[in-house]
Amino acid sequence: MNALYFRWMYWTDWGKSTKIERGGMDGSHRMTIVSHKVSWPNGLTLDLVGKRVFWVDAKQKLISSCNYDGSERRVVLHSEEVLGHPFSITTFEDFVFWTDWDKKSIFKANKFNGGNVTSVSAQMVINALFDFSRLLYFVLV
């Protein structure tokens, strides 16, 4: 079957040997895409535009990515200070966002090089919504 027409699902496995796998939505074509230098892959997400898999590893304190087939693996960010206990992850535009269990916060960084790490606090979200509502008010008036 041509891989272009195939629907994949991805998951992490903390079993006997930790790994990241993919398989067809029907359970066929299961394969390991990452099996070395991975310990506690808590969160996993797909960057559909960049066609990459991103994950956080809480034990190794890193954010990594690879192509859908596991090739071209890269470390996006490795930091004992910034990554306390990363738990979940997603991407949007040029950023990767993750939650941190220890720091009880949401962070973002450049998804290509891990630069510009920023805490995305609740106050920042409230301010953005407030600014948007003020803009909407002036547009409607």
The pTM of the full predicted model, rounded to 2 decimals, is: 0.81
For the cut 90, the answer to whether the pLDDT of residue 1 exceeds it is no
The boundaries of the domain holding residue 85 are 3-140
User: How many separate domains does the chain show?
Assistant: 1
DSSP 20-86: EEEEETTS-S-EEEE-SS-S-EEEEEEETTTTEEEEEETTTTEEEEEETTS-S-EEEEE-TTT-SSE
43-82 pLDDT, tens digit each: 999 999 999 999 999 999 999 999 999 999 999 999 999 9
> Which CATH number does the domain housing residue 78 bear?
2.120.10.30
